[in-house]
Structure 1
Amino acid sequence: MKNRILLENYFFSEDLEAQIAAFVNHYNHRRYHESIGNLTPADVYFGRGQTILLQRERIKRDTIKLRRLQHRRQAA
């Protein structure tokens, strides 16, 4: 955050506060964190983490199944 904030000059404290708020929002709601299973902190905090992980696992299984089917069709 420090490096991102220091790249620009802020002439009004409101501009700096808006940039900090935008960074915090991005960090908590959009940026995935490897240490918590590639989820956002908001997902974990609001209890959506397990649902998201299960959905990702289902998508992964379906993708592998589809790729195996495509590979078998090409091999035949």
Structure 2
Amino acid sequence: EKVRVRHRPRLLSDNGPAYLSKELKQFLKRKDIDHIRGAPYHPQTQGKIERWHRSMKNIVQLQNYYSPSQLAEAIDDFVEYYNNQRYHESLDNMTPASIYYGKEKEVRSEREKIKRETMTLRRQQNLVLVGV
């Protein structure tokens, strides 16, 4: 599917050694990606990813895993759910996939259709209840 990019891609990271390498800097430059580093000792800068990690841990830690492959499968399932099924308040109750693939209008239109149909059905049921 075609993806709309609304802004220049950027990488937000902490100041860990993996993010300070010359190789990463060159790679990001080749790909035309901006690199933004958070303030040292300030994990709140990475609030969204920190929240994602917390959500994942809350779900994944509910089970016992007897092999690394079972854990990997549980994480994969969570990522699938988080990106394609879970509605996010910060995304106007859309899934990340809906936003990424530019389907906001289509989703909103479908929601409005369902809302109209539901309201019509409720009106009809209420009229039956009052005997009209």
More strand by share: 2
Structure 1 match to 2:91: 36
Aligned-residue offset at 1:67:
4.2
Q: Which has the higher contact order (CA 8 A, sep 6+)?
A: 2
Tell me by how many angstroms 1:21 deviates. 0.3
Change in Cα spacing, 1:57 to 1:16, as seen in structure 2 (3 Å) is: same
Please give the root-mean-square deviation of Cα atoms over the aligned residues, in Å.
2.2
The unaligned stretches of length 5 or more in structure 1 are none
Q: Which of 68, 71, 77 is the aligned partner of 1:16?
A: 71
Q: How many corresponding residue pairs?
A: 76
* Structure 1 residue ranges (4+ consecutive) displaced by more than 6 angstroms after TM superposition: none
Deviation at 1:27, TM superposition (A): 0.7
The structure whose residues are more often helix, as a share, is 1
TM-score, normalised relative to structure 2: 0.47
1:14-38 residue CA offsets vs partner (Å, 9 max, x unmatched): 1111100000001111111122122
* Sequence identity (%): 43
Bigger Rg, structure 1 or 2? 2
